[in-house]
Amino acid sequence: MAEAFLRAAAGDRFEVVSAGAEATALDSDAVTAMNDVGLDISGQTPKKVDLFLPERVAFLVTLCERENERTCPIFPGATWRLKWPVENPAAAQSPEEHRTLVRRARDEIRTYVAQFVQEHA
């Protein structure tokens, strides 16, 4: 989601990559939530952060809390580290709660991305 919002908001002003601790399947609720705001992420492929560890990056944004999530990756090549505390929808107890948490995460990420672009673009 963050990748799509940043590409939409900043165009080619940033080279954007997105990855997680694991390369899980693309979340269909995330695809739907992003379609609801006019962004199609259905063609994105989840990637594991290990692919990018050798890279030097200016900004590293994590959505996980290292203190609470053991899978939150460490990325040694980052110059600046930003932590956006977004609740993980995977913690949902039901499909409806998952959809609600995905939409909430989408809205929080959109706000963080807008602030980031305003400050750094």
Query: Residue-wise over 42-67: b if at least 16 C-beta within 10 A, else e?
Result: eeeeeeebeebeeeeeeebbbbbeee
10 lies in which domain range?
2-120
CATH code: domain of residue 66: 3.40.50.2300
Domain total of the chain? 1
> CB of 34 within 8 A of CB of 40?
yes
Q: Read off the pLDDT of residues 3-59 as tens digits, 9 standing for 90 and up.
A: 999 999 998 888 888 887 778 889 999 999 999 999 999 999 888 877 877 777 888
* Residue 69 predicted with pLDDT over 60: no
pTM of the model: 0.86
